[in-house]
Amino acid sequence: MENASKIAIIGLGSQAKAWALNLRDSGLNVTIALREGSSSFAIADQLNLKALPIGEWLRDIPTIIVLTPDHEQKNIIEKNIAFFSNGTHFIFAHGWSYIRNFKDQYPQFNMAMLAPKAIASEVRFQYETKGKLGGAYSLEGCKDKDSSLNLVLHIAKAIGITAGPYESTFAEETKADLFSEQTILCSMLPYGALHSYKTLRKNGVSQEMAFMECWLEVKLIANALISLGPVEFFKLISPNALFGSTKASKVLFDKEYQAKLDSLFHDIDTGVFYEECEKANQQQLREEVLNLWQNEELQEVFERLKDELIP
């Protein structure tokens, strides 16, 4: 496939590393594009990946995959636009930048989305183990839909996507991704587990028991939910767990909880969240969150017990 004959990936974060290794191991010609002097050149060398400073060589690259953090992508495209040829296919792994910065701009380029639905380590693991991986795509910003679809499907297969990829839109993928992160994946799971752990500790339960019940078993339950589905899961759990989960669901997931979910979605849907996120000091926020967790007893117990309990 001509458009896949040469591929550049801008960035070398977690997702970029997984994509680059999978594409390379699938036999595609991949070059990492980095800013001059980037510390990631050493990482590329360790991974045996070809890397070059962003520059004129990109004019000869028909497909460029942008895998830097979302908030950096606008500046990267604008700053280096002279290095991109008309007709270049840009592929994003998330819809954020397109709907915020690129929709109806840069008509000289084709802009597509290919979003594997897994964290970076899982993208690599499923590829190496020939496992299963789902994904979504959109061709909204592409002129020749047929050739763009062939390109996206070719790359999807090369990075290990086995289910779909399912057609979506930049906006739909972004809303779903952000909402799931905010309401369950990166909030309810870690912070809910923390609150449960601290409640047990406050009531005299040992560190070890509280850790195993409220943190370690999250993975076991999640694995059962995913592999069995909800019906078989609720057939499987004990009578005590069934009664307790029903009682707790009525206590916790009330009308007020639903109103909070609706409020979070409203902020995403209306653009409020994007503005808040773009104004935030991301480095400071990450430091604050890491400091919070580093000072939690749960983190200390995790460090002490992980070698004994976690494969």
pLDDT tens for 160-182 read 999 999 999 999 999 999 999 99
Which domains are seen in the chain, by residue range?
7-168 (3.40.50.720), 186-309 (no CATH)
pLDDT at 218: 96
3-state secondary structure 201-253: HHCCCCHHHHHHHHHHHHHHHHHHHHHHHHHHHHHHCCHHHHHHHHHHHHHHC
49 phi-psi bin (left φ>0, alpha ψ -120 to 50, beta other): beta
pLDDT tens for 36-67 read 999 999 999 999 999 999 999 999 999 999 99
Cβ atoms of residues 7 and 31 within 8 Å: yes
Residue 208: pLDDT over 90? yes
pTM: 0.90
Place of tokens 């008509």: 107
Helix (H, G, I), strand (E, B) or coil at 115: strand
Catalytic machinery residues: 94
| Whole-number average pLDDT of the chain | 96
Farthest-apart Cα atoms in the chain, separation: 66
Q: How far apart are CA 146 and CA 162, in angstroms?
A: 20
Task: Answer whether the bond into residue 116 is a cis peptide, omega within 30°.
Answer: no
Q: Which two tokens stand for residue 226?
A: 């995913």
Using 50, 70 and 90 to split pLDDT, how confident is the model at 1? Answer: low
Strand-pairing partners, residue 90, are 64, 111
Q: How far apart are CA 149 and CA 88, in angstroms?
A: 14
Helix (H, G, I), strand (E, B) or coil at 56: helix
pLDDT tens for 113-136 read 999 999 999 999 999 999 999 999
Q: How far apart are CA 80 and CA 210, in angstroms?
A: 52
C-beta atoms surrounding 270 within 10 Å: 10
Cβ atoms of residues 90 and 64 within 8 Å: yes
